[in-house]
Chains A and B, each alone.
Chain A
Amino acid sequence: MSAPTSTPMRQQRVLYGIVGNGMEQRERRVPLDEPPPLAENAKLNVIGQPIPRADAVQKVTGRARFTFDVQLPGMLYARRVVSTVPHARVTAIDTSRAEQYPGVRAVYILDRQLQSAQLRDSKDEPKPRYPIVRYLGQPLAGIAAETERAADEAAKLVKVTYERLPHVTDLDLAMRPDAPVVFPGPTEQVATAGGGGAAPGLPQHGNVRGPDTGKMFGLPRGDARKALAEADVVVDATYRTQVQTHVPMETHGIVADWRDDGLTIFASTQFTTSVRDEAADMFGLPRNRVRVVSDFTGGGFGAKYGIGNFGLIAINLSRLAGAPVRLMLDRREEHVSAGNRPSSLQHLEIGAKRDGTLTAIHLESYGTGGVAAGAGVGLCHAWMYPCPNVTVNQHDVFTNAGPCAAFRAPGQVQGIFALEQSLDALAERLNMDPIALRDRIDVSGSDDSRARHAQRHLGARKFGWRERRRPGADAGPMKRGIGMAQSHWVSVIHPPTSCEVRITSDGSVECFSAAQDVGTGTRTVLAQVVAEELGLQADQIGSYIGDTRYPMGPPSGGSRVTGSLTPAARNAAYRVARDLAARLAPQLGVDPSAVVFRDGHIGVPGSPATWLPFREAVSKAGVVELAHRAERRDDYEGYMMVTPAFAVGKHGIGGVQFADVLVDTETGVVKVERMLAVHDCGRPINPKLTESQIYGGVIQGISYALYEERHLDEASGVHLNANIDQYKIVGSREVPEIEVHILEQLTGQSSTDARGVAEPANVATAAAIANAFYNATGKRIRTLPMTPAHVLSALREEASW
């Protein structure tokens, strides 16, 4: 794992700063066997190049094999039986007719529920025969049959008898003291291999669990109440955000193949290891008997961890039927039961001095993630802007609705929507330019803070910020305005990440990691880093991922892959290179330390006679197979926080976004006409793929700001818009002009200095659009999404900063 304290270290000078913006030298303590620091991208050959995605041809020809496409001999198809009521005790499940249906091979009834909070004390509820139904659409059982049609038909024949319990699906109703309770006692949501988790041991009254006071992030700090009373200016506002569903194009699902000698799982997942570990734990198998394969994952956005209830069903069915079983959720099931971003109701008070300096942040928040906990609103209050007095009281409110799951910058998207609007309002109150206010308060000195400083000013110049007019400047009903908001995310690292690099006798090179690719380009960045170290081109590297038989990789979540995996890959390639140089040097009669790898050749600079093509050099060195494995060492400056699941760097990831919107004040329709996004991700390994992720973050942010919202019917608990034709997402026609700029920020934290970008690209968008809405109309929109009803309601409010 991380370097033990006894690891020999060396003193190392590293480059520090934003390339093109004044670089300095800094000193770092670096493990002795780590490679020397890389130069700026402009001086490198493969890293930093916008080369095509390694698997692009497979994707455009239909050859990329997703879990959805896996077809094994004798494979059965499974369908789940789900609850048709939102809250009930199940008294009987009669599967006899389903079992008789032609083609049915196995039936399995769930004995537990994953993806849900659990009672702290199980005695708070009489032990039920079957798991209590707590939302409509909760899986109860599964059927495996020879065809999909047969599984679907048989699932309809299962007769479930319910003893109904009162239910509640609305956040405000669920908070009332007389509301029906979703759980009859306090709950916990323990983090598992499947992810998730909420702060333990919190009080719970009825459906309201909390407050979580942000202890994990060092809160509370100072005395926010007192500081608010003494502040020169206070901005006090209430914000509401909606429940958003993930809608990955490939739904959740697995193909499970249970055999006597072990279990093989093909999984659409963001973390192969979590699938292996959860399956092993649930079925009492040693981990070496469980293999998880994920060649391609069709999106995840946070919700694809672990085996889930669908995985429990599929694995059990495979075991019962003695055949591989494919269980992919259908689109409705995906919306209802596979995760969502919780709603939020945030009461945020900010206190400041007359010059803008922040003196207090006080937040009371409530949100619902259905039957799962996790409705906090991020860590921006604690870590983004220095402020001596910060209190957050965050609450989960349980409702009879599908479970939440992590969703691209969980909590932070909601939190920043409120925080960055309140700061915009503060600037307005103080007659300050919003950028000047950020210059005053965004001064922590961390890498992300430094990046944002550069991003604000670059963005303002490119976007035409100087042409910003006073709020509500347009006289007619169509009102245009611009706004900006800032992003913040933590640098999350998966410390056990390692990578193997292998050279074989013909000079071919391979690298291996269990990490998967959800669309970010894992194979590509891995190949680029290994190629750079060995003086080769990326397309010469076999880049093999998505198999738990390879060395452990990071989860594709939290903007964690590139920052975790590329240093391990470079370290391994460096070991291979030095080993090869040591074997070659005696043949060439040179000092091994003088041997370099460049342009497909190996040799000693200044000695033309020593240079050999890579393949010949491998042969001359007598290599049959040469392999090394290396780990992701700790950040050179150490971590701010280490948990069993992840580590957090001392510096975050920044980003600043600008929006240009047009509001039709008669119809309430908001259109985003133009966005500009300036982002940092340490060293961009492949700027093209980085840009793609930023486009995606901005587009998802617009979609969240303007359109997306899960609708539940309070009376029945039915999810009313659980399909793509009913749940509005940005499509081609709503995509505005988007301009992306990427900083190259070197900070001397690892052997590649790479960080992620997926979450920060999504964090600031809704707030930037909301601030532009204010600039257009002179009215604040504090409720998402900005649908006509919410817009017209906001426009009817009295004007106020």
Chain B
Amino acid sequence: MTDISRAAAVEPAAADAAARGQDVLGPEPVLLALFVNGREHVVRVDPATTLVEVLRRELGLTGTKIGCDRGACSACTVWIDGEVASSCMTLAFDARGRAITTIEGLARGDQLHPIQQAFVEHDAMQCGFCTPGMVMSCAALVDRNPYCTRDEVKAAISGHLCRCGAYPNIFNAALAAAARMQTGHAGKERKA
């Protein structure tokens, strides 16, 4: 294995750099552009920095939480190119050029996403610390599949931990939001 391919196995950013004939990045901070909630942000961080660290510390987007820092509780869930991801397990450099959506970017102004509205109505939270992550996973589910079942909701949040035990209300909130979105879906389909 060459040094470059070994580096590529652990650090795609380094591979990019190597492919472009540059030196390996880091450990010194370097500039990094991220596209978060529809806006580009340029930050200077070292390549070992995780996405959640950039979101929280550099961008002040503290809605995304860290519960375990090892991908076991999903409190750090964000969307990357529309897919749910653990931002504590994602290097910020791996998120370059990709569309990142955080809890702060889910509502449109004051208009909550249907899943946020349903969480409020169904009291799908207690302490609220796991809530942003739960909301992001449930929103991804109902956006993708407004005809989801209770078991599919359970599967969608099976990687999340809510220690307060808000699960029954979370299931109900997700299904209620899905039902609301089915109407929207049907409308869109008719228009199409």
Contacts and interface: CB of A to CB of B under 8 A. Distances in A.
A39 interface: no
A185 B125 CA distance: 46
A56 B62 contact: no
Interface stretch (A295-303, A417-425, A640-648, A774-782): A295-303
Interface string B38-72: 00000000101000010011001111111111111
A247 B169 CA distance: 21
- Identify whether the interface residues of B are mostly helix, strand, loop, or mixed: loop
Contacts of B161: 247, 249, 724, 729, 731
A66 B125 contact: no
A544 interface: no
A696 B103 contact: no
Nearest to A249: B129
Contacts of A693: 126
B164 A62 contact: no
B123 A62 contact: no
Interface in B119-133: 119-121, 123, 125-132
Interface stretch (A41-49, A535-543, A732-740): A732-740
Given A53-B120, A298-B127, A723-B72, A735 B65 contact: no
A699 B130 CA distance: 16
Interface in B22-48: 46, 48
A518 B126 CA distance: 8
A773 B72 CA distance: 30
A95 B181 CA distance: 59
Contact of A60 (B102, B116, B158): B116
Interface string B172-190: 0000000000000000000
Interface residues of B, number: 58
Contact of B165 (A53, A59, A61, A698): A698
B112 interface: yes
A53 to B, nearest CB: 6
Contacts of B120: 52-53, 56-57, 60
A700 B67 CA distance: 18
Contacts of A58: 128
B166 to A, nearest CB: 6
Contact of A695 (B102, B104, B165): B165
A616 B64 CA distance: 43
A159 B77 CA distance: 37
Interface string B104-148: 101100001000100111010111111110010000000000000
Given A61-B103, A68-B65, A696-B166, A732 B126 contact: no
B163 A248 contact: yes
Nearest to A738: B168
A69 B51 CA distance: 16
Contact of A62 (B63, B162, B167): B63
A64 B112 contact: no
24 contacts: A56-B123, A60-B103, A60-B135, A61-B103, A61-B112, A61-B116, A68-B62, A149-B48, A249-B164, A250-B65, A298-B129, A299-B126, A299-B129, A299-B163, A331-B68, A519-B164, A688-B123, A692-B164, A693-B126, A695-B165, A695-B169, A731-B160, A732-B155, A735-B168
Smallest CB-CB A-B distances: 4 pairs: A62-B63, A519-B127, A699-B165, A298-B129
Interface of A: 52-53, 55-66, 68-69, 71, 148-149, 246-250, 296-299, 301, 330-331, 518-520, 688-689, 691-693, 695-700, 723-725, 729-733, 735, 738
